[in-house]
Amino acid sequence: MSLENLPKAHLAPVVALAPVRELPPPVHTDLSTEHLHPSLEDPALNSMNFLNEVANHYPDAVSLAAGRPFEEFWDLDELPRYLARFSEYLRDERGYSEERVRRTLFQYGRTKGIVHELVAANLELDEGVSVDPESIVVTVGCQEAMVLVLRALRSGPKDVLLAVSPTYVGLTGAARLVDMPVLPVASGAAGVDLDDLLTQIQRARTAGLRPRGCYVMPDFANPSGVSMPETTRRALLSLAREEDFLLLEDNPYGLFHGDTRRVPTLKALDAGRRVVYLGSFAKTVLPGARVGYVVADQTVTASDGTVGLFADELSKIKSMLTVNTPALAQAIVGGKLLEHGCSLVAATRREREVYAANRTRIVEGLAARFGEGSRVSWNVPAGGFFVVVTVPFPVDDELLTRSARDYGVLWTPMYHFYDTGADGGDGVRSLRLSCSTVNAAQIDTGLDRLARLVNDELARKQGAPVALTRAGDLS
């Protein structure tokens, strides 16, 4: 279809115009970031892009960076099977007519979701958490759940969030979208430094701010790999009650605990509805469904005195953000839950074993390459996807780019997980290794290359000449 480009009133007589080919091309600088939301020039929103770009630019590098789940057990045939299983459930267990089954999958529907009862059953079985399904909002991944909660809690410029630092970058990004400052709290060995938390709260209040909640990932945190002992969890709950703030508990990795006994989640220990629980099926079912959820069983009193559930307030926001979590995506997750009697413990056994073996191989591989007396150290997480390596020099994007280009190995500079200003940003001397998408041979190669990079850096700092090698030579 050919369409005219300009209203007639704007066309000068043709004879008066220079030949078209000689006109300078129009300069369309349509917008500038100066007049767009400040988050768009914020490091939090640009970290992911930068890291993805490096990975895309060096596709042959071994990736110890990607936090994606292990994918080799997936099969395309699962998808229609899950859809069929969920339809069968609606028909046979819920008594839906054929028409209503079709409507449930194809149409707009319940804002809080259609798998909420299956999610509640899963929480009961796998986490020992009993919640009213009405207090669950099924979301487009855990990311939307975080946005809903922060959007609700940020009533004005005084409201601030606390977060254990280093922090998952998606949390910081969500906070940026709702203009909510995030105050860092030290992690320490226990996953949260309670003294520092109290100090930060008191300091914020003195500054006229209202700390509304503290974001934590108590199990095998991204990026630190650190977990909270049960005593710390109980003390954190007490502090939240005493100081009157919410705990935002994010738990994407809980099932990947390796050989260690699982510690109860904060939500399982929560008698006072202090915990807003953020859940995800991205790592336990599949990321491509983008199904997460939030348990928000707090009560909310409206200005007219009526009392409702926080989940229903979040649902109102969701109705204006994404309307519904795609019913088809929920059906696929629902089908998998149903196939496994709503428990994902057995369903994720193979992945749990892969991650545990990979973590062990990374930790032992680091020990073999950075022996006694080395100035390189690392932690030994009990579960999850990540190991943090500390080196005696700053780890920045320039080093990552050189690592990818010259050594053929990708990892993630830890500074990306520290909010601007906190911990000096570019002075952070650690990097994150991920165990989730690699096999044993890739781990070995990746660690060989990392060791060469680190040793070359150490030599460079000491003024020794470094013979640069190309990634191609290292395979």
Q: Is 5 in the site for a second copy (CB under 8 A)?
A: yes
Q: Is 190 in the site for a second copy (CB under 8 A)?
A: no
- Over the window 417 to 456, marking each residue x when it contacts a second copy by CB under 8 A and - when it does not, the resulting string is ----------------------------------------
Q: State whether residue 430 is helix, strand or coil.
A: strand
Name the token pair of 20. Answer: 């078209």
Q: Is 34 in the site for a second copy (CB under 8 A)?
A: yes
Name the token pair of 364. Answer: 């032992």
- Over the window 12 to 31, marking each residue x when it contacts a second copy by CB under 8 A and - when it does not, the resulting string is --------------x-xxxx
Q: Out of 289, 354, 387, 399, name the contact with a second copy by CB under 8 A.
A: 289
Q: How far is the CB of 436 from a second copy (least distance, A)?
A: 11
Distant-in-sequence, close-in-space partners of 445: CB < 8 Å, separation ≥ 6: 62, 409, 474, 475
Tell me which H or E stretch contains 52: helix 43-57
What's 212's DSSP letter? E
Question: 220-279: which residues touch a second copy (CB under 8 A)?
Answer: 234-235, 237-238, 264, 268-269, 271-273
Q: How far is the CB of 390 from a second copy (least distance, A)?
A: 28
Q: How far is the CB of 13 from a second copy (least distance, A)?
A: 18
Nearest to 368 by CA among 431, 438, 443: 443
Q: Out of 80, 341, 392, 424, name the contact with a second copy by CB under 8 A.
A: 80
Q: Is 181 in the site for a second copy (CB under 8 A)?
A: no
Residue spans of beta strands (DSSP E) within 251-384? 275-280, 291-295, 299-301, 307-309, 377-378
Question: 111-170: which residues touch a second copy (CB under 8 A)?
Answer: 128, 140-141, 143-144, 147, 151-155, 159, 170
Question: 310-329: which residues touch a second copy (CB under 8 A)?
Answer: 310, 313, 316-317, 319-329
Q: Residue 174 or residue 185: which is nearer to a second copy going by CB?
A: 174
Q: Residue 9 or residue 467: which is nearer to a second copy going by CB?
A: 9
Nearest to 439 by CA among 379, 357, 380: 357
What is the rounded distance in angstroms from the CA atom of residue 293 to the CA atom of residue 315? Answer: 11
Q: How far is the CB of 422 from a second copy (least distance, A)?
A: 18
Q: Is 300 in the site for a second copy (CB under 8 A)?
A: yes
Q: Residue 59 or residue 371: which is nearer to a second copy going by CB?
A: 59
Q: Which residue's structure tokens are 């994007």?
A: 397
CA torsion angle 350 356 359 361 (round to 10): -90
Question: 326-365: which residues touch a second copy (CB under 8 A)?
Answer: 326-329, 332
- To 10 degrees, what angle do helices 327-339 and 98-106 make? 120
Name the residue type at position 209.
L
Q: Residue 209 or residue 269: which is nearer to a second copy going by CB?
A: 269
Return the bridge partners of 389, or none.
378, 431
Q: Is 43 in the site for a second copy (CB under 8 A)?
A: no
- Residue 449, Cα to own-chain centre: how many angstroms? 27
